[in-house]
Amino acid sequence: MTASDAKAAEPVAAPKSVSYDGATLIKDIKDTLCKRNSLSIRGLAQVFKQIDANKNRCVDISELESGMRIIGINLNDEQCSALLKFFDKDNSGTINFDEFLVCIRVSILTFENHSFSLF
């Protein structure tokens, strides 16, 4: 049904924005991994191995996109870029397991408001 007078039409809410923030995307990943019972170090290692398609112990942008799809998270190009940047602390253009582990585990601990020490 359409209004013949534009002034009589009800306003439509703007669509929910899509997040391109790495920290927000990490929360979605953590939630998905939690449902899969994959938040232990061993579980995260298995997930990383799944994502690392060429088995070179580093995940590039294309592996990240397809790997996230494998675990049930569909990301667009901008989200993948934001996520890679968030994970890639050494600015190598890839994610190694240490970067992956630290980002996921730290976000878990931060999310749960626990204090932690890496040493």
Q: What is the pLDDT along the chain (119 residues), one digit of tens a residue?
A: 454 555 555 555 544 555 678 888 888 888 888 888 888 889 999 999 999 999 999 999 999 999 999 888 899 999 999 999 999 999 999 999 999 999 888 755 444 444 443 33
pLDDT value for 27: 86
Verdict on whether the full-model pTM lies above 0.85: no
Domain boundaries, the chain: 22-111
Instruction: State which amino acid sits at residue 16.
Output: K
Six-digit token string for 17? 């924005």
Can you list the positions of beta strands (E) in the chain?
A: 58-59, 95-96
96, β-bridge pairs = 58
Return the structure tokens found at 80: 């993948």
Q: What is 22-111's CATH number, 1.10.238.10, 3.40.50.720, 3.30.565.10, 3.20.20.70? A: 1.10.238.10
pLDDT for 67-88, tens place per residue?
A: 999 888 899 999 999 999 999 9
DSSP lists the bridge partners of residue 95 as 59
